[in-house]
Amino acid sequence: MTTILRGNIIHAPAFGTLETIPRGYLVLEDGIIQGVFPDLPERYGGCPVEDCGQALIMPSFADLHLHAPQYPMLGMGMDLPLLDWLDTYTFRTEARFEDTDYARRVYRQLARELIAWGTTRVAMFSSRHTDATLILMEELENAGVTGYVGKVNMDRSSGPAQEGTEESVRETLRWLENCHFAHIKPILTPRFTPSCSDGLLEALGKLAAERNLPVQSHLSENTGEITWVRELHPDCGQYWETYDKYGLWKPGTLMAHCVYSDRREQEAMAGSGVWAVHCAASNLNLCSGTAPVRELIARGVHVALGSDIAGGDQLAMSRAAVMAIRASKIRRMEAGGDFLTVPEAYYLGSTAGHLYFGGGAGFEIGHKLHAIVVDDSSLPEPARELTLAERFERSIYLMEKEHIRAVYSEGRLLPRPADGR
Amino acid sequence: MTTILRGNIIHAPAFGTLETIPRGYLVLEDGIIQGVFPDLPERYGGCPVEDCGQALIMPSFADLHLHAPQYPMLGMGMDLPLLDWLDTYTFRTEARFEDTDYARRVYRQLARELIAWGTTRVAMFSSRHTDATLILMEELENAGVTGYVGKVNMDRSSGPAQEGTEESVRETLRWLENCHFAHIKPILTPRFTPSCSDGLLEALGKLAAERNLPVQSHLSENTGEITWVRELHPDCGQYWETYDKYGLWKPGTLMAHCVYSDRREQEAMAGSGVWAVHCAASNLNLCSGTAPVRELIARGVHVALGSDIAGGDQLAMSRAAVMAIRASKIRRMEAGGDFLTVPEAYYLGSTAGHLYFGGGAGFEIGHKLHAIVVDDSSLPEPARELTLAERFERSIYLMEKEHIRAVYSEGRLLPRPADGR
């Protein structure tokens, strides 16, 4: 089936590159991109055209680090130090997901909100609860969100929701047996080194190898954590080596934060194909710092963005992109260097994430469409006609849910969900 | 006429103090606050009660620094250095307000959006155009926004919209003659020292004294500007003295930014009753720095918040408060000290601004009601029942226009405007 979308087409096929095709045509066969054309090729002359008018058609967003069971505490506890925040909010909130009815309600709302904000691919932490994790995967799948979800493993220093080591491994196997979703796949998720015993890390590393499963965790988020990891693993020179020691440091491993990753750690990432997920809002909210994004990219590390709710306070990846720009400006003020431009931040929040999951670089031929249609007509009347690049820029800064008129995921137009629960 | 509102009442009567009255009563006579009560006093027993259910009733926001004619460029040019940003966007956009039809359309939308976001008091820069400034005042008045608006004076280094010195004075007089609005009053507005000749500053200083008019301008926003001011006024030891020299530095003078105000400049502010307006988003967007908010407050300077659109990219003062918190966390990471808590930032973005205009400290008896009613029921279902302080905190972080169910200004409930133009 041929589908043709017409509108102002904008994408970022490479870091720092923004391509704009005014009133162009995006041609799909069964949801797979056949090309982007300024004029419609003759061979498609007989096909109906879905005309989006003056709206912007852009690749959707990808959120490569967020904690689903922290959604209920979004925007709370931000005045607390990290450890109090974990004790007062995080562990207690996550423990609630023992209750599968509660999980169903919260995860249904989360999945709908992700789509409403134009996020169609995620790499997500669940809680330790197998059943709630399966519910989360089902709700994401039903809403049209694709990607990876991980049952969290944590058998140490993790508050009321902590598991036993054997229980953690057994539940992980039970979870994996029940992952039968078309577009949401499992990812192994040791919470972070301090919350996993050596035995658990070892078992997860074996599982990752045997079943060829991807891995996600946290790395070098703040200085206290790094000291703690050093105490726990005196044989490891650096934090990343605690993952490497157990076979969890491998191509496609996602490491959130990397705020304090120095040259050696960055080179270890580049050398192993480990990805860094930059979570600027969370790093500022929790006073962690600002990650060396340009350095990571210059050293050949793949970088994508994460909302990191609920350390981050906003689910919208357009806002995560703006916050990445802000964090880069803070680094510039402290130490010089270039900040991230809007097209660069958008690349990290969209293209990079899609590439992680095997998607295309922008609207690349042969890939299923992941896109949003942005109607910016209610934004302030400009002083002169704007270029598409300018409309793109202000849309990234000003986009509210109401401006996202349509969302495509895996080649199909999603039904616009009702807001709220 | 007696009006009684019932709901979850929250206000910040002092810096750092948050008072919450669950399901309390706010009693008004002709829009003037008679008191806040946990239980309704017997004398009001016969009066009808407007029940807001579980919604939060909070004082509205006050925006003490924003540029109305920059609204059309919101969220644009953020990748440009300050001078290019001024030349490419600011001066050209402001020059468009020669066209009164355009001004009417843009200012009507701006006024409605301010109310939709719960901002009921402003101190605002217009452009140099007298007619557009009067249109702005009329649109604000009609929408229910109160406060001060200034026709901008600029006869030097100000691009295509620059005025002659005599023209600037003459037009200021014509503007003042035509300011006949109940709730929007004039404020003298020399753009900033570099864009005003000595003659113009002198004339404005005289006018301020003769007619007892308040003054607003910019101070110590970035280091380049400070150097420039020193070159222009070699007789002045510090930037603030260029305003003082011409009688513009006086009680109630509003100075936006104060990022680089040192101890001496801060003491000059405190000593003269000059207010600092903190514009955190703008200071980060333009790589200016972070203002010493706690230092200013500790030295006795009155501080309020400004959105500073379009250096700032968000009109919502809830977001300006969140950005003030972020900026304070950046300062903390660099130099230690405490960050701003949510109640503190809300005080600066609400109470402080109301006090500037002679309003009350929170819901203070004897003052006309300025309030918003926030319906947070569509926010994520929490893991347990939240305290009002927690609901307040996440509302500040997560508030979207759709959550602001009603807005009161000068004691009256405003009609909910249709969004957009």
First to last CA, chain B: 34
Q: What is the pLDDT of residue A333?
A: 93
Tokens standing for residue B93 = 């956009």
Q: How many whole angstroms separate alpha carbon B213 and alpha carbon B211?
A: 5
Spatial strand order in the sheet of B146-150? B61-67, B119-125, B146-150, B184-186
Q: Tell if the CB–CB gap between A341 and B79 is shorter than 8 Å.
A: yes
| Residues B329 and A287 sit within 8 Å (Cβ to Cβ) | yes
Say which residue the tokens 């009442």 belong to. B9
Q: Tell if the CB–CB gap between B420 and A378 is shorter than 8 Å.
A: yes
Tokens standing for residue A207 = 């599982």
Residue A49 burial (CB count, 10 A):
13
Q: What is the pLDDT of residue A421?
A: 32
Confidence of residue B419 (pLDDT cuts 50, 70, 90): very low
Spatial strand order in the sheet of A254-257? A216-219, A254-257, A275-278, A303-305
Kindly report the CA angle at A273 between A272 and A275, in degrees rounded to 5?
Answer: 120
Question: Which long-range CB contacts under 8 A does B295-298 form with residues at least 24 apart?
Answer: B295/B263, B295/B266, B296/B258, B296/B261, B296/B266, B296/B269, B297/B15
Rounded to 5 degrees, φ, ψ at B367 are: -110, 150
Q: How many whole angstroms separate alpha carbon B158 and alpha carbon B155?
A: 7
Per-residue pLDDT of chain A in tens (421 residues, 90 and over written 9)? 999 999 999 999 999 999 999 999 999 999 999 999 999 999 999 999 999 999 999 999 999 999 999 999 999 999 987 778 888 899 999 999 999 999 999 999 999 999 999 999 999 999 999 999 999 999 999 999 999 999 999 999 888 778 999 999 999 999 999 999 999 999 999 999 999 999 999 999 999 999 999 999 999 999 999 999 999 999 999 999 999 999 999 999 999 999 999 999 999 999 999 999 999 999 999 999 999 999 999 999 999 999 999 999 999 999 999 999 999 999 999 989 999 999 999 999 999 999 999 999 999 999 999 999 999 999 999 999 999 999 999 999 999 999 999 999 999 999 975 543 3
3-state secondary structure B90-135: HHHHHHHHHCHHHHHHHHHHHHHHHHHCCEEEEEEECCCCHHHHHH
Residue B418: pLDDT over 70: no
Question: By the CB < 8 Å criterion, does A310 face chain B?
Answer: no
- Cα Rg for chain B, rounded, in angstroms? 21
Q: What is the pLDDT of residue B88?
A: 86
Confidence of residue B416 (pLDDT cuts 50, 70, 90): confident
Q: How many whole angstroms separate alpha carbon A95 and alpha carbon A90?
A: 9
Tokens standing for residue B369 = 């009601």
Q: Which positions 211-250 of A are in contact with B (Cβ < 8 Å)?
A: none
CA B304 to chain centre: 7
For B126-137, how does the pLDDT look when each residue is reduced to its tens digit (9 = 90+)?
Answer: 999 999 999 999
Q: Which positions 88-107 of B are in contact with A (Cβ < 8 Å)?
A: 92-93, 96, 102, 105-106
Tokens standing for residue A280 = 């600027």
Residue of B58, B115, B14 lying closest to B391 (CA atoms): B58
Q: What is the DSSP letter of A340?
A: P
Q: Tell if the CB–CB gap between B421 and A390 is shorter than 8 Å.
A: no
Q: Tell if the CB–CB gap between A96 and B383 is shorter than 8 Å.
A: yes
Question: By the CB < 8 Å criterion, does B387 face chain A?
Answer: no
Chain A partners of B394 at a C-beta cutoff of 8 Å? 74-76
Could you tell me which chain B residue has the CA closest to the CA of A290?
Answer: B330
Q: Tell if the CB–CB gap between B384 and A109 is shorter than 8 Å.
A: no
Q: Measured between CB atoms, which of B73, B326, B379 is closest to A284? A: B326
What interface predicted TM-score (ipTM) does this complex get? 0.96
The amino acid at B310 = A
Q: How many whole angstroms separate alpha carbon A35 and alpha carbon A57?
A: 14
Rounded to 5 degrees, φ, ψ at A360 are: -90, 165
Q: Is the dihedral of CA A373, A377, A378, A381 positive or negative?
A: positive
- List all residues 6 or more positions away from B319 whose beta carbon is below 8 Å from its beta carbon: B281, B307
Q: Tell if the CB–CB gap between B78 and A393 is shorter than 8 Å.
A: yes
DSSP assignment of A363-385 equals S-TTSB--EEEE--TTSPPPSSP
- Please tell me the distance in Å from B406's CA to the nearest CA on chain A: 19
Q: What is the DSSP letter of A313?
A: S
Confidence of residue B420 (pLDDT cuts 50, 70, 90): very low
Question: What does chain B come to in residues?
Answer: 421
Question: By the CB < 8 Å criterion, does A420 face chain B?
Answer: yes
- Please tell me the distance in Å from A116's CA to the nearest CA on chain B: 14
| Residues A292 and A337 sit within 8 Å (Cβ to Cβ) | no
Say which residue the tokens 């600037």 belong to. B168
Could you tell me which chain B residue has the CA closest to the CA of A222?
Answer: B333
Q: What is the DSSP letter of A259?
A: T
Could you tell me which chain A residue has the CA closest to the CA of B401?
Answer: A400
Residue B3 burial (CB count, 10 A):
21
Q: Tell if the CB–CB gap between A394 and B75 is shorter than 8 Å.
A: yes
Mean pLDDT over B14-38 rounds to: 98
Tokens standing for residue A285 = 């909210």
Q: How many whole angstroms separate alpha carbon B211 and alpha carbon B216?
A: 15
Rounded to 5 degrees, φ, ψ at B28 are: -125, 145
Rounded to 5 degrees, φ, ψ at A347 are: -55, -45
Q: How many whole angstroms separate alpha carbon A79 and alpha carbon B120?
A: 27
Residue A381 burial (CB count, 10 A):
14
Could you tell me which chain A residue has the CA closest to the CA of B75?
Answer: A394
Q: Tell if the CB–CB gap between B398 and A109 is shorter than 8 Å.
A: no
Q: Tell if the CB–CB gap between B381 and A93 is shorter than 8 Å.
A: no
Residue B360: pLDDT over 90: yes
Q: Which positions 118-147 of A are in contact with B (Cβ < 8 Å)?
A: none
Alpha helix (H) ranges present in A76-233?
82-85, 91-95, 100-116, 130-143, 165-177, 198-210, 223-232
